[in-house]
Each structure stands twice: as structure tokens, then as C-alpha cells.
Structure 1
Amino acid sequence: MKIKVAVLLLALLSGCDNSAPVEKGFAGLGGEASAFTPVVPGRVFSFPADHGPHQGFRIEWWYVTANLKDDQGREFGVQWTLFRSALKAAPEVAGWGNQTIWLGHAAVTSATAHHAAERYARGGVGQAGANTAPFNAWIDDWRFSSEATDPLTDLQLSARDKHFGYQLRLVSSRPLVLQGDKGFSQKSEQGQASYYYSQPFFQASGTLEIDGKAYTVSGPAWLDREWSSQPLTADQTGWDWFSLHLNSGAQVMLYRMRQKDGAPYLTGTWIDAQGGTQLLHGDDIRLTPEDTADVAGRSMPVRWSIQIPGKHLDITTTALNPKAWMDLRIPYWEGPVRISGSQGGQGYLEMTGY
């Protein structure tokens, strides 16, 4: 659910327009997008082609999170995201006339520190992009790449900024997971949606630096790939998104899309330890904020109760660092969480629109 980049694009597109603003939902992503390719049910995914960019769609992202520990049990979180956004629904051109904006976000979190950084680039000049053969997604010197024939079996992930850096290897022999209804991930009752697949079974290992100290770390990691043209409605104000690694070996992805009026749109996917999936509907999930923290002048729900009665799951997620505020040009909360209750585990939480 990494679609904050459209805040920047909305500003770029509206900068020369003095007309009264039209309601477009959170980050402008409920705005009209009829010129772009629509998301409809029944898409047949093709790999490795779908690991690369999708021209004709307005926005997409490559998004990795990892829950890591060192040999002393100290916990860390890592995030790496690359966004591609099209300013126009037209075939891309080379050079500075290219109509694509790229944005990178990277962060490292510990129990006592959180650092985030961002990069911007114009398409068409080689500063950022994504290729499939060999797979390489990059912006400046931040990279997510593979030399493997099947690129999502063995990858390198890296980013560096003033206060942090990491170099990780991600490996998995497990199949990819199509989220939602065979990869069609609905975001509203009106039918807004994205194409969405994940690799929630990565194991990460490598080195991490934070505030001048280096650590050797390992732990589970999660990749999300989504692309869409109009994923929200005009009255959706933000979302709360979870990716959870349970100690049983099962994985859970769920999110609620908050609306100005009425109940949030709630859905998710249950992924069993063998990689089998079950679409979760709103009635299958009970998601309740339990505790808040004052973060960057906002009241953020950093402790949640999650119940999925049909799976006998009754857990609480607690932020490793409640102050995990992404203080970037497009601000939001994102950080690792611990899981307790009927099962233990770890995961990631993203909250936007607060």
C-alpha cells in the first residue's frame, strides 16, 4: 500500500492550475484517471515481465521491508521503496522530455532510533528505473537487483544516507503470492483496485549501519509489487496496512482504507506456511487500535488488536519504536512491529493520512 508518491505528482500537476481544487481523496489518488489503463479482474500475470515497469498505468512501486536481529537479539527494521509515476498516459520518451517521475524512500529503525531518506529522479536519463533482464530497480546508488535467472530467488538490496546504510541479501525458494482475488486487490466498495503480488517468504542477511555503528543482521523480509491508475475513491482519507510474519510460518497481509464517512474498507490475505492463500473480507477481520502515541504532533495508533476468528488468530501488534515517523516531503508513519497473543511473530505497519 505504498501510494504516497502521488502527493508530489498532484502538486506538480496542479501547480499551473488556479482553479478551485476538486476532491481527489488521499494523495490525489481518487482523481479521475480515464486516460490511463484501468485495473480490471482477470489479469494473467507473467513473470519475469511483471517484475518490471508497466507503461500505461499511472503509478507503481517496488517495496521491501525486513525485520532483522543481530547476534545479541537487538531488533531492527529496514524499508526500501521505489515508486514510478506517470505524469501523462502516453508512451515514454527518452531524455529530459520523459514524463515519468521516480521517487525512492529508505529507512532504518531500532528501538531507540529511526532515520529516513528520500531520492527524486526524472525518467529517461538513467538516474532511476527498473529492468527485468537482469532484474534491477534503482535510484541513484540505491539498488534492488538480481543476477539470477529467476530474479526473486536471490537479490541484493542496498541504500545509504548520512545516518544509516544497509547491504542485504534476500533469498527465497517459495512461490510468489497473488494478493486479493488472484492479484486483483480491491480498495473500495466502488471497485477501485490495484494489481498486487508479494514475496513474503524472503530471508534476509547482511550488514546494517545506524548512527555510526555496524551490525550483522538477519531475519524475514517481505516484497510488495503493486500498480494501478486510480486505486482510491475521492473520499478515502488514508490507510493502515500490515504485513505480518507469524511464528507458525503463516503470513498475513491486511489493510483498512479509512473514509470521510462510514466504516473503513477492510480486507486482507491469509497465507499459510506452504504459500496457499485465502482472501479475507471485512467480516473475517476485527482490527482495533488499542493505544496511541504523540508522534510529530499527531496522535498515532501504535498498538493494535487483530482478530481473525476463522483462523483462531487473536494477536496484538506493538511498535518497536513508536516514533517511526517518516519525516520526508511526503510524511507518514512506518516501522516494525512485534506480535504477541495467540501467536508470536513480527511484521511491519504503515499508517497514512493522520
Structure 2
Amino acid sequence: MNAKLLVCALFWPLAAMAQGFAGLGGSADGFDVPQPEYQFEFPADHGPHPSYRIEWWYLTANLTGEDGRDYGIQWTLFRSALKPFETAGWQSPQIWMGHAALTTPERHFFAERLSRGGIGQAGVTADPFEAWIDEWRMAGPTLQTLTLTANGADFGYDLNLSASGPLVFHGENGFSVKSADGQASYYYSQPGYAVQGTLHLPDGDVAVTGNGWLDREWSSQPLSADQSGWDWFSLSFEDGDKLMAFRLRGGRGDYTSATWINADGSSRSLPDGSVIFTPLETSRVADRDVPTDWRVSIPDEDLDIRVQAQNTQAGMETRFQYWEGPVTVSGSHKGRGYLEMTGY
């Protein structure tokens, strides 16, 4: 097999995701699919689930430097499977992909790593927790206390994270519905990390502190066939409350879901239609028009906010393209957070 064919064979699931993310709406093809009333087991569920097609460990952080400037970082490990099982060595059907990014007010740095499973180059263990691809690591004795490291050609970071507050389960006890047809994922978060460490930038190192948010999600068919992308918000407000909210865009209209997280860690799910998402302004990012200024409102929660990109050019020009960057929040609630947009 020549090199190009080998790459296509190894990373076909990722190529499907690149096609407007429509690959996430395809058939489950023998993989397990999420069911209601799943009983989570920890620490095991912090680890991989090879009988499901796709999975990710996704951490973002809003940071402030000793220089007084605001920064954002992303660290993500994706698992995508060719077949619904795991085997050792080069016969493993598991594909791993890592994304790392660092956003400043003026620049957006990113890097990507790829690996076949079964050979030790990438993977996740649950106890003690460790997620890695090459030298990039998110690791700790448990998910509550982590070290995080990644680097690209002209950036890097070394961070320490310590969580307060409980895990938050989205949807119905972690069963997160994504469409009117019932497609779903298992989805929980740890939104309460305190972060401190060092960013490595072309102009030198910067000591930073801030707050981090980890998302864990796995499924085999999370979208309907007509859904082309999503807009996802993770927002932390100055009063200690938090909000996770997303809309999935489809030919039959939008599907929305949200979780309101109180300052004490308790949470409640907000069903489809509770959140109103209104794009206000778009930015030209690479060759796409992407909404980077939003109004988000939840009438039942007295929330009416404006969410604006810290740097409109936070495009992830990776094998599948998306936008991911830190945002500021003003209006009825003030704060910071992260925004992810796919399918534009």
C-alpha cells in the first residue's frame, strides 16, 4: 500500500468528520449506541470505550498572565474506531488524534498529532488517569488533579490543574440527546479546575492563572443525517454560576440543549428550545464566514448576554476545520468562557 493510501485507510473516520461533520450522522454500523439510564462507573468511565465509534477528552482554559493579558488554551484527544473492539499492536482499529491550541489577543497557535492505536504512541488509562499522544500529556493520580502539557512549532504550555466541585452530567443524568430523532451521547464535565502554570510563546514565557473546563463525551452516531454542525458554549460567570449550551444546526431546524450549573455545583438540564442563540456579527476566518459575536438568552433564567470572541481568528485549520477560542461575556451576566463552532 502506498503512503497516501495508507493514510486514507488509517484516518478515514476523521476524513468523514471533515465533510461538514456529516460522518457523525452516519449509521452506527455495529457499534454500541448510548441508552438512557446508563450507570456511570468511575474511574473506569474516565478511560476509553472501544465499543463506541467516537470519543474525546476535551479541556479548555481561560487564563490571565502576569503581564495582565488574557489567554486561552485547548487540549483535546480524540479516539475514532474502524471496528467496535480493541486488539493489541498494529491490528488495533483505534485511531487517535490530538489538537492543542493557544490563543492570545493577537495570535492563535495550534498543532495536531495523529496516531494508530495499539502501539503505545497514544491512548488513555483510567487509574491512574493519563491521556497522551506522543509527548503531549494530561495526567494525574485522578481526574481531580492534573498536569497538562503540549507544544507546537512556536508555542507550548505546562499547566497544573486542581478541581473543586463535583462532575456535572448533561442531559438526563449524562444521556445527552442531540436531535429530535433521538441520537445521543454520554456526556459529563468537570468545569471547576483552578489552573496555574506557564505558557511558552515566541516572545518568552508567561506565568498564568485561571480556570479550566474538561468535557468527556462518547457515542457512535451523535447526529442526525441532516445536521451539519454545532455551536457550543462553556461559560463561567463572575457570580460562580456556569452554563454549557449548544445548538445543532440541521435541515429541519435547530436542536438545542443546555445545563445550568450553580455555584455550589448542583445543576439542572434545560431542554430543546430553552436557549435562544442569535449570531450578531461574522468574521472571515480562512475562507469561511464564522459568527464570532453572539447574543445568548434564556428567558426562564433571566439570562441575556453578549458573547464575543477574544480573537476572531481562532480557526483550527486541522484535518477537519472548526473554530475554537476564548470568549468574553457581558450583559445580564459577566464572565469568560469558550466557544466551539463546526460546519461553517
Task: Please state whether the residue corresponding to 2:231 is helix, strand or coil.
Answer: strand
Cα deviation 1:100-131 (Å, max 9, x = unaligned) = 00000000001100011000001110000001
Query: Using the alignment, how far apart are the partners of 1:335 and 1:216 within structure 2?
Result: 20
1:3 aligned residue: none
Amino acid at match of 2:126: T
2:80 aligned residue: 85
Question: Which among 48, 52, 60 is matched to residue 53 of structure 1?
Answer: 48
TM-score by length of 1: 0.91
CA gap 1:9/1:181 in 2 versus in 1, 3 angstroms:
farther
The alignment status of 1:35 with 2:30, answered yes or no, reads: yes
1:341 aligned residue: 331
The alignment status of 1:262 with 2:257, answered yes or no, reads: no
Query: Using the alignment, how far apart are the partners of 1:264 and 1:14 within structure 2?
Result: 24
2:60 aligned residue: 65
CA gap 1:350/1:324 in 2 versus in 1, 3 angstroms:
same
Query: Using the alignment, how far apart are the partners of 1:67 and 1:159 within structure 2?
Result: 16
8 Å contact 2:244–2:260 — kept in the other structure?
A: yes
2:4 aligned residue: none
Query: Using the alignment, how far apart are the partners of 1:31 and 1:175 within structure 2?
Result: 34
Amino acid at match of 1:44: Q
What is the Cα deviation at residue 197 of structure 1?
Answer: 0.4
> What does 1:107-126 align with in structure 2 at a 5 Å threshold?
107-126=101-120
Amino acid at match of 2:101: A
Query: Using the alignment, how far apart are the partners of 1:223 and 1:236 within structure 2?
Result: 25
8 Å contact 2:14–2:320 — kept in the other structure?
A: no
8 Å contact 2:257–2:270 — kept in the other structure?
A: yes
Amino acid at match of 1:112: E
Question: Which among 113, 125, 128 is matched to residue 131 of structure 1?
Answer: 125
Among all aligned residue pairs of Structure 1 and Structure 2, give the percentage whose two residues are the same amino acid: 52
8 Å contact 2:10–2:95 — kept in the other structure?
A: no
Query: Using the alignment, how far apart are the partners of 2:9 and 2:243 within structure 1?
Result: 31
RMSD of aligned C-alpha atoms? 1.8
8 Å contact 1:75–1:110 — kept in the other structure?
A: yes
1:97 aligned residue: 91
Query: Using the alignment, how far apart are the partners of 1:94 and 1:78 within structure 2?
Result: 33
Amino acid at match of 2:138: F
CA gap 1:251/1:93 in 2 versus in 1, 3 angstroms:
same
TM-score by length of 2: 0.94
Task: Please state whether the residue corresponding to 2:300 is helix, strand or coil.
Answer: helix
Cα deviation 1:194-249 (Å, max 9, x = unaligned) = 00000001111100012242100011110000000110111101010000011110
8 Å contact 2:100–2:111 — kept in the other structure?
A: yes
What is the Cα deviation at residue 152 of structure 1?
Answer: 2.0
8 Å contact 2:256–2:274 — kept in the other structure?
A: no
2:272 aligned residue: 282
Equivalent residues, number: 335
Question: Which among 170, 175, 181 is matched to residue 184 of structure 1?
Answer: 175
Query: Using the alignment, how far apart are the partners of 2:290 and 2:245 within structure 1?
Result: 18
Amino acid at match of 2:271: H
Amino acid at match of 1:38: V
8 Å contact 1:192–1:232 — kept in the other structure?
A: yes
Q: Which contiguous aligned blocks of 4+ residues in structure 1 show a shift greater than 3 angstroms? A: 8-11
What is the Cα deviation at residue 133 of structure 1?
Answer: 1.9
What is the Cα deviation at residue 64 of structure 1?
Answer: 0.1
Task: Please state whether the residue corresponding to 1:169 is helix, strand or coil.
Answer: strand
CA gap 1:336/1:25 in 2 versus in 1, 3 angstroms:
closer
2:12 aligned residue: 12
8 Å contact 1:243–1:349 — kept in the other structure?
A: yes
Structure 2 segments unaligned to the other structure (5+ residues) = 1-7
Query: Using the alignment, how far apart are the partners of 2:13 and 2:318 within structure 1?
Result: 20
Task: Please state whether the residue corresponding to 2:37 is helix, strand or coil.
Answer: coil
Structure 1 segments unaligned to the other structure (5+ residues) = 1-7, 16-20
> What does 1:184-333 align with in structure 2 at a 5 Å threshold?
184-259=175-250, 261-333=251-323
